[in-house]
Amino acid sequence: MKERIAFLFRKYRFVILASFLIAWVYFLLRLYHITDLPIFNDEAIYVRWAQLGVYDPSARLISLSDGKQPLFMWLTSLMMMVISHPLYAGRMVSVLSGFATMVGLFFLAKTLFDSTKTAFLSAFLFALFPASVLYNRFALIESLLGALIIWSMWGQVTLVKTLRTSVAFALTYLMGAAILTKMNGFFTLLLLPLSLVFFTKKNVVKRGKIIRLISLAFISVVGSLLFSAILLLSKYYPVIQEKNHTFLITSYHGSIRQIGLVIGQNLLHTSSWTLVYFTPLLIVALVFGFVDRSRRREQLFLLSWFAIPTIIVCALSDQLFPRYLYPSMLVLVPLVAVGAVYLVGRFGKKAVAYGILTLLVILTVDGLIVFDLPHAPIPAIELEQYANGWPSGEGMKEIVQILAQASEGGNRIAIITEGEYASLPTTVVDLFFWQQPNVVHRSLDSFDGKVPEAIAVLEKTMPVYVITNRIQTGPVWPNELVYEKRKGIGDTYVRLYRLTDAEEKINK
């Protein structure tokens, strides 16, 4: 037995060592300091929905009330049964989704280009890809969507090449899961014909197997669409279309010229975001990925999967963020790997030196994302969202600790948070204090004018704390500042106040 193991290790030594190294790099960049990363507004909402689903079966489709498909929340609910901390449970789902994406890119590249080197390099590039390092560390839907889209692409190509019924059913689950994750999952259905066009061989047509191929593809499409029938169980199902419409450019009330400017601006932003995340050095490798004419079908297939969804999203979106384009960016990774392999074969030591320089640049970006996100060289809109603006949860961890300490031993406290819906302070307090009967939580959209009588009455019997996040002036009510923290290097602060003498000044 030992001799057999030793023989297999010698035979597959490169595969084993390369797999271990890439996995180690991947998890190091995702898990290091992940518990110190401030909570992000959207992930707080997703995790809260998942938390509700753990304890209340009727709430497992509550994400539809905001137009969001539920699969990511369901997986987070399951993870909460293993990891008690709700935020870390959600982030672990994202980390594991990223790992699945990396494995999927390996098999996609191997299937398309029949090269183990290209496959391993694709996985390695993904492990270092700055966008994936950023998004896989947050509990974001896009991490799961990216994995399902990459695996759906692999399933489609494999189905065309093998005509196997088992692959068709696997593809059904993959595309169905993508649809249950986000509306962008429908791109897996829309772009299925690309696989048929690019990879259907002539002998399939000649032998009459084209009917079988179309039948299997039809089964996959219909089966995946049945997954969306689950959503019909919720009364909130119509909200998906309503919510999506609010983000579409068709809801933008302006002239055709103004709409055209928005689309042009979206395309410009998309180009700049792609350049930033791939870095100019990887873009060079991407260009060389198109040199080998013998792989033109594979190259055009991947390029189409990047270009078509990107153009559609840019043409329809009134509000656009880089993470919406993350699954499309992933499709370019195998092309970068192909270009890198070509450069090494063509230029030898010079290409290796170029690769080392590229590696150092990417590691620098990754290091800043992990250790100093507010200064990371990523798009400004990302820094505003995750580190330096009001959506960032910088300071919320400390505020939760202060409030938890104040409520220890059954001490009653009241917490007043800014914002009634989708507010970071409100969601975070719900997330961590919802099962504590000694904590009274109220939310308000404004702290102007008189102290509401209900809050003044609370102060008679317990300390009353106020958390502000987007409001930077603080409440006009009598208070003392307990804690404040700046969001990264931005101009926004989160603050915790304690009300004083509210009852005496209720009518002043």
pLDDT for 279-335, tens place per residue? 999 999 999 999 988 889 999 999 999 999 999 888 887 778 999 999 999 999 999
Per-residue pLDDT, 506: 43
With CA atoms as reference, report the closest residue to 139 among 99, 86, 185, 180. 86
Of residues 56 and 240, more confidently modeled: 56
- Residues 146, 187 contacting (CB under 8 angstroms): no
CA dihedral 451, 460, 405, 35 (to 10 degrees): -30
Q: Is the pLDDT of residue 120 over 90?
A: yes
User: What confidence score (pLDDT) does residue 42 get?
Assistant: 92
In this prediction, residue 259 carries a pLDDT of 67
Q: What is the pLDDT of residue 216?
A: 92
User: And the tokens for 442?
Assistant: 């109220």
**pLDDT mean over 458-486:** 87
User: What pLDDT digit, counting tens, does each position of 73-119 carry?
Assistant: 999 999 999 998 999 999 999 999 999 999 999 999 999 999 999 99
Under 8 Å CB-to-CB from 174, ≥6 apart: which residues? Answer: 148, 151, 152, 155, 188, 224
Alpha helices in 317-452 (DSSP H): 326-330, 333-347, 349-371, 380-383, 396-406, 424-433
State pLDDT tens for residues 412-449: 999 999 987 778 999 999 999 988 889 999 888 887 77
The torsion defined by the Cα of 46, 171, 82 and 129, in degrees rounded to 10, comes to -70
Tell whether the model's pLDDT for residue 471 goes beyond 80. yes
Question: Reduced to 3 states, what is the DSSP secondary structure of residue 40?
Answer: strand
- At 107 the three-state DSSP class reads helix
Above 90 in pLDDT, residue 5?
A: no
Give the pLDDT of residue 200: 81
Model pLDDT, residue 144? 97
Q: 46: pLDDT confidence band, cut at 50, 70 and 90?
A: very high
Neighbouring CB atoms inside 10 A of 319's CB total 13
Contact at 8 Å (CB) between 481 and 500?
no
Lowest-confidence pick of 239-253, 342-356, 390-404: 239-253
State how far the Cα of 213 lies from the Cα of 161, in Å rounded to an integer: 9
pLDDT of residue 507: 43
List all residues 6 or more positions away from 141 whose beta carbon is below 8 Å from its beta carbon. Answer: 46, 68, 69, 72, 181, 182
- What does the alpha-carbon distance between residue 96 and residue 107 come to, in Å, rounded to a whole number? 17
pLDDT at 9 over 90: no
Residue 508: per-residue pLDDT:
43
Mean pLDDT of 328-343: 95
**Per-position b or e across 87-115, b if 16+ CB within 10 A of its CB:** bbbbbbbbbbbbbbbbbbbbbbbbbbbeb
pLDDT at residue 505, rounded to an integer: 47
Neighbours of 193 (CB within 10 A): 11
Residue 254 has pLDDT above 60, yes or no: no
> Model pTM?
0.92
- Work out the average pLDDT over 470-484: 85
Which 3 state secondary structure label does DSSP give 419?
coil
The predicted-structure confidence for 195-236, as pLDDT tens digits, reads as follows 988 988 776 666 668 888 889 999 999 999 988 777 777 666
Q: What is the pLDDT of residue 249?
A: 56
Spatial contact of 213 and 200, defined as CB atoms under 8 Å apart: yes
pLDDT at 57 over 80: yes
Share of the chain above pLDDT 70, in %: 90
Specify the DSSP element, H or E, that contains 39: none
